Structure formats: C-alpha cells, structure tokens
C-alpha cells in the first residue's frame, strides 16, 4: 500500500517538542493533492496573508487511497483492487499524519466534498487529535438524494457500456464520458451555467472540455471511489465529536444545498 502526500510550510515545535501548527487538507472525489496545490487554491488559501498562510502553518495534503499517486486500481489490479471505504481512507490518512510525519495533534482539518465527509469521520474516530475541523460541502448523513443518484447513474453508465469489458477496457468507455458530464452539470449551479452557456457553441465548448477532463480520470479508479462512499454514515456517532466544528455548505450546491437543513436539524441534537 502506497499513500502519497505533499506538504507546504514548515513544522513548528512547542516546548515539549511536538508539532503544533499542522493542518490536514483533504481533497474531493476524483482529485488529489495536486488539485489543492494548484495556483487558484494556493492564491486563495495558502499565500501570505491568506487563511492558511504557509508561513504560519504546516500544511499536509494526502492523496486518498484510490486517488492521485497513492495505490489505486489503475496501477494494474483494475477491478481486482481491494474494495475500500471512507473509514479506510481516514485510517490511512491517520497513519500518514501520526506515523510517517510524527504529528500527534493537528491544529485543524479542512476537507471539501469527499474530504469534508472524511473530516466528519476524523472528528469522530480521533476526537482528541485536532483543535478544529471544517467540513465543506458535505453532510453527516448517508449519501442520499441527488448525491446518491448521480453516483448510481455513473456506475451504471460505465458498467453497461460494451466498451467497459469488465474493467479491461482499452479506451475510455463512453459511459464514463457521459457520466462525467452529468457530474459537471450537477456541480455547477443553474444560475452559473445559465451565464456560462448562453448558446449552442458555448455548450459545445463546455462538453468538449468535459470530454478532455473525463479522459484524464480512469474509470476503474472512479468506480472504486464512488462505491467507497456507500457505507458512509457519521450521524449515529456525532456525539463523539469534541473539537470545534465549523461546517460550511452553499445554497447553489446541487448535491448538498443548505436548504435541506440537515446541519440545523441533526447537529444540535448532539
């Protein structure tokens, strides 16, 4: 098992010799640490004066198992790659943080989408290992509603495509290309797409960009990643969370919009 990670900034040690400025930053489905270290994120979050200024914090960016440069189906095992779930992802991240990097206590965890769901799980599984946790665009309930439907639709589209060949495809199955288009359409809000796609030529450009992006994601990898979310359910153990919690969702998120009122109804009871 290989878990790749990147770091930004310098670890600071307190009087006891322990690292006290580490922040774990967790990526979303189909992404990896390179996405979070792209110029747009670096400028917004990690540059001097930004919220996670790398001059102040020691930032840790793991590639979750099944993603990026960590062990994944496309390395060679394809459909024979072991099934994993989000709990396995979190436990492996914990090993990287504590055993590989020697960080006993995190200043904070920031996660987005899948990374946000992992952040909820971190706060429950390791409640004494961080000062605060910030799950973004995620909910502490099983994957359901639109979030479940698009995952099932993508899985079915890939597996029903004759080009799939039980995972031994030689070219990207067209079902995944279509599935990725569904994902992009759902991620972007209706108002944003209305502005971005005012004409047929704009739609052609949008679809062409999606096609290229989908070609860079291995279908075996995305299948395992999507399946890994189906056992996710932090709701019953929310009372285990001891750390400071700041959960952030958006009204224009078509998967987990704040109008569902899940956070308002579920979290206060715990």
Q: What is the pLDDT of residue 187?
A: 81
Structural domains in the chain, sorted by start: 5-142+232-269 (3.40.50.1820), 145-227 (1.10.1740.110)
Q: What is the pLDDT of residue 270?
A: 58
Concatenated DSSP letters of the chain: ----EEEES---B-TTS-B--EEEEE--TT--HHHHTSHHHIIIIISTTSTT-TTT-EEEEE--TTSTTSS-GGGTTGGGSPP--HHHHHHHHHHIIIIIS--SSBSEEEEETHHHHHHHHHHHHSTTSBSEEEEES--SS-S-HHHHHHHHHHHHHHHTSGGGGGGT-SS--HHHHHHHHHHHHHHS-HHHHHHH--SHHHHHHHHHHHHHHHHTS-HHHHHHHHHTTTT---GGGGGG--SEE--B--TT-SSS-GGG-HHHHHGGG-
CA angle at 244 for the pair 242 and 250, rounded to the nearest 5°: 125
Structure tokens belonging to residue 19? 């690292």
Per-residue pLDDT of the chain (270 residues; tens, 9 = 90+): 999 999 999 999 999 999 999 999 999 999 999 999 999 999 999 999 999 999 999 999 999 999 999 999 999 999 999 999 999 999 999 999 999 999 999 999 999 999 999 999 999 999 999 999 999 999 999 999 999 999 999 999 999 999 999 999 999 999 999 999 888 888 888 888 999 999 999 999 999 999 999 999 999 999 999 999 999 999 999 999 999 999 999 888 888 888 888 988 888 765
Radius of gyration of the chain (CA): 19
Rounded to two decimals, what is the model's pTM?
0.94
Q: What is the pLDDT of residue 265?
A: 87
Residue appearing with tokens 């914990």? 94
Q: What is the pLDDT of residue 115?
A: 98
Sheet holding 22-26, edge to edge: 5-8, 58-62, 22-26, 108-112, 132-136, 244-245
**β-pairing verdict for 5-8 and 58-62:** antiparallel
Cβ atoms of 164 and 207 within 8 Å: the answer is: no
């Amino acid at each position: 098992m290989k878990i790749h990670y990147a770091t930004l900034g310098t670890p600071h040690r307190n009087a006891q010799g322990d690292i006290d400025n580490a922040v774990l930053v967790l990526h979303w489905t189909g992404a990896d640490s390179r996405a979070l270290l792209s110029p747009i994120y670096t400028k917004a979050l990690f540059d001097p004066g930004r919220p996670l200024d790398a001059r102040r914090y020691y930032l840790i960016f793991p590639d979750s198992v099944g993603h990026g440069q960590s062990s994944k189906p496309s390395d060679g095992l394809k459909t024979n790659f072991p099934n994993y779930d989000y709990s396995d992802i979190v436990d492996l991240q914990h090993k990287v943080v504590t055993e590989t990097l020697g960080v006993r206590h995190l200043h904070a965890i920031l996660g987005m989408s899948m990374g946000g769901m992992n952040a909820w799980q971190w706060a429950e599984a390791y409640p004494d290992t961080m000062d605060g946790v910030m799950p973004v665009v995620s909910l502490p309930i099983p994957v359901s509603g639109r979030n479940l439907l698009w995952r099932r639709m993508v899985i079915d589209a890939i597996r029903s495509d004759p080009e799939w060949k039980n995972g031994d495809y030689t070219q990207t199955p067209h079902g995944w290309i279509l599935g990725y288009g569904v994902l992009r359409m759902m991620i972007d809000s209706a108002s944003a797409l209305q502005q971005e796609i005012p004409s047929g030529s704009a739609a052609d450009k949008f679809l062409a960009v999606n096609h290229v992006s989908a070609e860079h994601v291995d279908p075996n990898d995305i299948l395992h990643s999507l399946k890994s979310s189906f056992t996710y359910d932090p709701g019953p153990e929310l009372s285990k969370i001891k750390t400071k919690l700041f959960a952030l969702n958006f009204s224009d998120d078509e998967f987990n919009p704040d109008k569902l009122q899940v956070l308002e109804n579920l979290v206060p009871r715990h």
